[in-house]
Amino acid sequence: MTTAIEVSKLVKSFGRTRALDGLDLTVRTGEVHGFLGPNGAGKSTTIRVLLGLLRAEGGTARLLGGDPWRDAAALHHRLAYVPGDVMLWPNLSGGEVIDLLGRLRGGIDPKRRTALLERFDLDPTKKGRSYSKGNRQKVALVAALASDVELLILDEPTSGLDPLMEAVFRDCISEERRDGRTVLLSSHILAEVEALCDRVSIVRNGRTVETGTLAELRHLTRTSVSAELAGPPTGLADVPGVHGLDIQGDRVRLEVDTTHLSDALVVLTRAGIRSLVSQPPTLEELFLRHYERDADDARPAGTPAERGSATGTQPPAAADSPTGTRSSAATR
Amino acid sequence: MSALAGTGTLTRLALRRDRILIPVWVAGLTLVMVASASSVDSLYPTLESRRQLAAGLANDSSVLAIYGPANALDTTGGMTMWKPGGLVFVLIGLMSLLIVVRHSRAEEESGRLELVGSGVVGRHAPLTAALLTAAIADVAVAALVALGMIGVGAPAAGSIAAGLSFAACGLVFAAIAAIAAQVTEGARAANGLAGTVLGLSYLLRAGGDSAGSGGASWLSWLSPIGWCQQVRSYAGERFWVLAFPVAFALLVVGAGYLLAARRDLGAGLVAAGSGPASAAARLRSPMALAWRLQRGALLGWAVGFAVVGVVVGSIGNGIKGLIGDNATVSDVLTRLGGRGGVIDAYLSTVLGMLGLVAAVYAVQAVLRLRSEETGLRAEPLLATRVGRIGWAVSHVAFAVLGSAGLLAVAGLLAGVTYGAEAGDLGGQLPRVLGAALVQVPAVWVLAGIAVAVFGLIPRLSVGGAWTVLGLSILIGEFGPLLRLNHWAVDVSPFAHVPRVLGATPEVQPLIWLLAIAALAGVLGLVGLRRRDIG
């Protein structure tokens, strides 16, 4: 099997609120898939549908080859889940919760359990009510990571963890990937997503607005260019995909859709480049653009993004262009 | 007084959160009193009929144990204060302790108090606000009962004394809850602790009041409920007795504040110990988890039922000695079928009440499902191979088997105590045990309804299940007094429990009750399978 999770056109409403409005999500077996979106975008709702806790009203969801609602108990043998809000039974110790949850999944590996407790620096003898938020999170993480399962579903698993533990978490997920486990990781921590995820899906208002590798997503956005020219440029405003053009004498600042970067550079070169700084969008910019409410209306670059998701995320041809977007170039 | 800063705001917040709960309690308690008072007049219109009734009841130590000292039973006010008043004292205590724990320890446990406490809120403001909220509810009951009783024609002085004694009783248990909320880390445990004190007060009073003049009647004076009943509303009010509960409440509240000042937010005086680093081998199923979560409560309830069983059994024997040569008593006696008949009627009544209490246990055991769900603890569990039905059954099993077990414990101990003292253990034990166990199907109906509401309309599970239970208690205990229609009385499953003692028990109603319980339970489970979790 090559897809662990296959969700298409998922719809779910709570009263008058439409939480999921035709959401798509594909997670390939063996990949770490980032699941991103602003608060209330529908990430946790999707996860709950995948866990068979909520019943979808429309669309289809397949999980590990089964129906998450009908085959819930059988599928749950093969997955482990870490909720965003971990609540423990006040009178059970952390160690008891780890063992219980592990046994109720596919079983628990005692060696891994011991190792993880040590790595996460977690005292398993404390009672549930005396753990801090971060430590409750660690209990759920250790229980999930020590369980003998093929799929990990993690809903903001590092909220409340200190930076040290966050690093431990990243190491653990990297190891999981090496071992061939599939991970669905909902997160707001962009550095974490960048370090761990093979592919990401960005959702907003219950729909998927973007999906692909981070490199692909970067291609779908704008590069900002600032240049010092030998003379005033002509025809820059006519280049397709150029936005926010700001010409101050022989200094030019502009943003250009990455697909049209070379067109813009041709015009600039004609004017004679003295210095050039081209900056690919940072992850923050990438996400902020998608998170903003009216991003689509304000910035036309949102259009190819949506086309990308609708047609199965084919990156535009320019993605292969050697201009690349990973590096910024400065010449004089 | 910076320690009390923010008390007003917190009190308003508590009243806003309880804008349905408190009015329901207050209206319920008031209505029971006023409606009973107005029906006494029509039930016993002549003075002679009242005198007869009063003479019969006042000499029956078993009913004295249940309702408290009988004073001025030939007046409307006296009769109402005794029955249902004797039970209203317990209920107002329960209301007050639940309110205080709900707004102090429960808020603290949930972490919400931390958020509130970071504002301009003094150290003692949360506890004070909780106590004030309970006091407001108590005073509301007092005022409405006093006005209502005057409204149905009872003397003003007695009505005011009645209202004040109810309020005093409520304040005592609000104060006790204020201490309980400092001692434990969990709201459940705090409720249990304060509830235990309430139960002990009732038992002390029951022991003292049933002992008669020659016995240990001083026991009643050790009980806060006893003090409040010793005010003797409508029978030459002794307002000075109110000083006992009021002074006691003030002392206890003071102790509560002292304890509160000595601990950290979130901590209890009883520190939480550490637990095992790994789980025992048997903790590997939803049933094992439910056992871990519910065993403490079940044990506490079992101890309570055991104590009550012993008390019930020994009072049953006391009845024989107390009944004298009084002609009226003999009349009543004969009508009830002789001495054995009186004891049987007493045992049936008490065990019927225990059935209602067992239903309280069953309903709260079922509602554990809902609190696990809303507390987000069900979600990770249901994301394992635990199915919804398996999870639900693990807790419902406690409602079903636990409630039957509790009634068995009480019936067994009552039977042994009564039978041993009567010198007829072999004959009495099966009868008394049977009279206890015959309640089980009715208890299961209420548990089944709770499961049905939880599965079909989860939002209403807590309110709905308790309302159905409350109505059953109201109908069962006060239905005849309130002169409800026959069909209204029949709504309560307990109205269909056949008599076992002194009668040939009918089996058919039991089968019906079992069928209804099973149907409701299955409906609930089917609903749970089809609905969203969370």
Chain B residues whose CB is inside 8 A of the A104 CB are 284-286, 381, 384-386
Q: Coil, helix or strand for B265?
A: coil
Q: What's the CA angle centered on B448, arms B445 and B453, to 5 degrees?
A: 125
B interface test, pick of A44, A54, A99 with most B CB neighbours within 10 Å? A99
Domain termination site, one of A170, A196, A215: A215
The tokens describing B382, both together, are 């249901």
Nearest Cβ partner of A55 from B375, B376, B532?
Answer: B532
Report cis status (omega within 30 of 0) of the bond before B505.
no
* Same-domain check for residues A53 and A200: yes
pLDDT in the model for residue A330: 38
Minimal Cβ distance to A77: which of B280, B283, B385: B385
CA distance A59 to chain B (A): 17
B274 contact residues in A (CB cutoff 8 A): 93, 125-127
CATH number of the domain to which A17 belongs? 3.40.50.300
The full length of chain A comes to 332
Alpha-carbon distance B63 to B58, whole Å? 8
| Contact at CB, B533 and A54, closer than 8 angstroms | yes
Q: Are residues A196 and A325 in the same domain?
A: no
Of the candidates B279, B289, B376, which has its C-beta nearest A85's C-beta? B376
Query: A210 and A288 in one domain?
Result: no
**A237 and A210 in one domain?**
no
Q: Examine the domain organization and report whether A288 and A172 are in the same domain.
A: no
Domain that holds residue A236: 221-331
Same domain (yes/no): A281, A206:
no
Per-residue confidence (pLDDT) for residue A54, from 0 to 100: 93
Q: Please list the ranges in chain A whose pLDDT falls under 70.
A: 1, 293-332
Helix (H) or strand (E) run with residue A226 in it: strand A222-229
Q: What is the pLDDT of residue A307?
A: 35
Per-residue tens of pLDDT for chain B, all 534 residues: 578 888 998 999 999 999 989 999 999 999 989 988 888 777 777 777 777 777 777 777 777 888 888 888 888 898 899 888 998 999 999 999 999 999 999 988 888 888 887 787 888 899 999 999 999 999 999 999 999 999 998 999 999 999 999 999 999 999 999 999 998 888 888 999 999 999 999 988 888 887 766 667 888 899 999 999 999 999 989 999 999 999 999 999 999 999 988 887 777 777 667 889 889 889 999 999 999 999 989 999 999 999 999 888 887 766 644 444 455 555 655 655 556 677 888 888 889 889 999 999 999 999 999 999 999 999 999 999 999 999 999 999 999 999 999 999 999 999 999 998 888 888 889 999 999 999 999 999 999 999 999 999 999 998 899 889 988 888 877 776 666 677 777 888 988 888 888 778 889 999 999 999 999 999 999 999 999 998
Chain B: residue whose CA lies nearest to A126: B274
The H or E element that residue A255 is part of is strand A251-257
pLDDT at residue B335 in the model: 59
Whether residue A205 is found in the same domain as residue A234: no
Q: Distance (Å) from the C-alpha of residue A36 to the closest C-alpha of chain B?
A: 21
Interface test with B, best of A100, A122, A130, A148 (most B CBs within 10 A): A100
Q: What is the pLDDT of residue B446?
A: 96
Task: Tell the residue number behind the tokens 């009672």, with chain if given.
Answer: A127
Query: What total number of domains does chain A contain?
Result: 2
Q: How are the residues of chain B apportioned to helix, strand and coil, as percentages rounded to the nearest 5?
A: 80, 0, 20
CA B69 to CA B218: how far, in whole Å?
A: 12
Residues A126 and A262 in one domain: no
Examine the fold and report which residue of A197, A215, A233 is the final residue of a domain before the chain moves on. A215
Is A81–B383 a contact, with Cβ atoms under 8 angstroms apart? Answer: yes
**A120 with A19, same domain?**
yes
Residue B286, C-beta contacts closer than 8 angstroms, at least 6 positions apart: A104, B381, B386, B390, B391, B393, B394
Give me Rg for the CA atoms of chain A.
Answer: 23
Do A127 and B274 make contact, defined as CB atoms within 8 angstroms?
Answer: yes
Give the ipTM of the model, two decimals please. 0.81
Nearest to B534 among A48, A96, A98 (CB): A48
Query: What's A299's domain CATH number?
Result: 3.30.70
Say if the Cβ atoms of B272 and A74 lie within 8 Å: no
**Residue whose C-alpha is closest to residue B94's, from B57, B137, B49, B38:** B137
Rounded Cα gap, residues A249 and A292, in angstroms: 33
Question: How much is the pLDDT for B416?
Answer: 94
* A183 and A55 belong to one structural domain: yes
CB B188 within 8 A of CB B301: no
**Of A192, A215, A238, which residue sits at a domain end?**
A215
